[in-house]
């Protein structure tokens, strides 16, 4: 007869039975058993401390991420509101420029309409009509504008004053925003140059000047400005309006709660990279209850580990002393076990005659 083919043994290996663990445990020396008996609770305490620390770190990282997302969302919303306000003022100024190009208004009516806009919208500082020869035809400025920024009618722009932007407008025939370089002690206004047409030719520019601090104050919603430290900065990083906290180094990715400050910046459209809205979240102290619980867990874990290590060292010395007594050589004098005072009195009472 042909033998049936042998089937390979595919039994799943089983874990050692409890009897094997008990036999292994009994084969260990008492000192090693004590060491294992202490290491297990000590490892449990360390794992517990690691779990608590990881939980606090994870929650803090999640909170930092949510705070950063909130800053980004609010700054984007503030930038959109500021953009809409700039576009509305630009549309009104372009309407005046179109009337000037069509020669529908003269200098007196131009000054009246410019005064109306400057009075109604506090972020506008001045509106100036400049012809193609860089001569001021008419201008109106707010009462708060200082003398060096005034441009009386009939004067010619000084060499270097908005010269580069004036030539760009002449070349491209499009509205252009410009931020003059910052002068020590004063913040220059944001300028909007709108081209004027004279029978198809370049006829000058309409210059609108914005108060940068007024743009930040009236353009950004109050709920955003009350929640963060806001500032308008130029392309070089100079603060034009508002205030920011001191500069900080890069945050440590392992300890983000120590030096991380949520901040976000976005260019203001339609100005571009020449005007940036930047926000920083107010730095708040960590919760007293959360910090107290964390340090309480750390102290309790440290005390527990210290007690376990101390108990293990005490047990180890005790075992060593017992082994030294057992291995002590025997002498001719029989070993006498000392007894307590109560036992000694009882022995004397028994030995004395009645």
* C-alpha span between 350 and 126 (Å, rounded): 121
Strands of the 228-233 sheet, one edge to the other? 239-242, 228-233, 272-281, 263-268
The pTM of this model reads: 0.66
| Average of per-residue pLDDT across 242-247 | 73
Cβ atoms of 137 and 152 within 8 Å: the answer is no
- Domains in the chain, ordered, with CATH? 88-216 (3.30.450.20)
Per-residue pLDDT of 154-182, as tens digits, reads 888 876 667 778 888 888 889 999 888 77
% of the chain beyond a pLDDT of 90: 19
* CA angle, residues 64, 215, 224, in degrees to nearest 5: 25
Per-residue pLDDT of 254-303, as tens digits, reads 444 455 678 888 999 888 888 899 998 876 655 566 677 778 878 888 88
Whether the per-residue pLDDT at 345 is higher than 80: the answer is no
Token output for 151: 């441009």
The confidence score (pLDDT) of residue 96 equals 93
DSSP letter at 171 equals H
- Residue 183: per-residue pLDDT: 67
Indicate the pLDDT class of residue 64, thresholds 50, 70 and 90. Answer: confident
Place of tokens 């743009």: 215
Alpha helices in the chain (DSSP H): 18-27, 30-101, 107-120, 163-172, 212-219, 222-225, 256-259, 288-326, 341-351
Alpha-carbon distances, residue 198 vs 35, 101, 170, 192 (angstroms): 98, 6, 12, 19
Task: Dig out the tokens for 95 from the structure.
Answer: 């309407």
Which distant-in-sequence residues (6+ apart) come within 8 Å of 61 by Cβ?
Answer: 256
Nearest to 205 by CA among 164, 233, 245: 164
Other C-beta atoms within 10 Å of 148: how many? 7
Question: What is the rounded distance in angstroms from the CA atom of residue 53 to the CA atom of residue 298?
Answer: 9
First to last CA, the chain: 100
pLDDT-derived band at 81 (thresholds 50, 70, 90) equals: very high
Q: Which residue has the higher pLDDT, 39 or 214?
A: 214
pLDDT value for 117: 92
Where residue 162 falls (left for φ over 0; alpha for ψ -120 to 50; beta otherwise) is left
* Length reported for the chain: 354
Mean pLDDT score, 136-163: 80
Q: Using CB atoms within 10 A of its CB, is residue 82 exposed (0-12), middle (13-18) or buried (19+)?
A: buried
């Amino acid at each position: 007869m042909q033998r049936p083919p042998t089937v390979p043994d595919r039994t799943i290996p089983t874990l050692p039975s409890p009897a094997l663990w008990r036999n292994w445990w009994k084969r260990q020396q008492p000192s090693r058993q004590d060491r294992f008996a202490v290491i297990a609770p000590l490892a449990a305490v360390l794992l517990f401390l690691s779990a608590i620390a990881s939980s606090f770190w994870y929650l803090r990282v999640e909170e930092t991420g949510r705070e950063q997302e909130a800053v980004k969302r609010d700054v984007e919303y503030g930038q959109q509101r500021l953009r809409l306000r700039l576009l509305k003022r630009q549309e009104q100024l372009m309407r005046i420029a179109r009337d000037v190009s069509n020669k529908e208004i003269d200098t007196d009516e131009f000054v009246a309409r410019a005064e109306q806009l400057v009075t109604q919208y506090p972020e506008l500082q001045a509106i100036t009509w400049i012809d193609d020869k860089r001569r001021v035809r008419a201008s109106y400025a707010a009462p708060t504008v200082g003398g060096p920024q005034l441009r009386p009618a009939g004067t010619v722009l000084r060499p270097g004053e908005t010269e580069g932007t004036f030539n760009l407008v002449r070349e491209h025939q499009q509205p252009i925003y410009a931020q003059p370089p910052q002068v020590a002690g004063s913040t220059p206004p944001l300028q909007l140059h709108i081209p004027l047409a004279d029978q198809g030719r370049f006829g000058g520019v309409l210059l609108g000047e914005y108060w940068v601090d007024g743009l930040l104050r009236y353009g950004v919603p109050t709920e955003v400005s009350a929640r963060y430290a806001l500032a308008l900065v130029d392309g070089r990083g100079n603060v034009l309006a508002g205030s920011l906290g001191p500069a900080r180094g890069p945050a440590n990715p392992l300890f983000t709660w120590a030096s991380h400050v949520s901040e976000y910046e976005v260019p203001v459209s339609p100005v571009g990279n020449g005007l940036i809205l930047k926000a920083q979240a107010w730095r708040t102290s960590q919760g007293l209850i959360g910090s107290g619980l964390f340090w309480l867990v750390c102290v309790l874990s440290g005390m527990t580990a210290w007690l376990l290590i101390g108990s293990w060292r005490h047990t180890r010395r005790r075992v060593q002393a017992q082994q030294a007594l057992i291995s002590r050589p025997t002498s001719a004098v029989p070993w006498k076990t000392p007894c307590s005072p109560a036992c000694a009195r009882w022995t004397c009472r028994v030995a004395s005659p009645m």
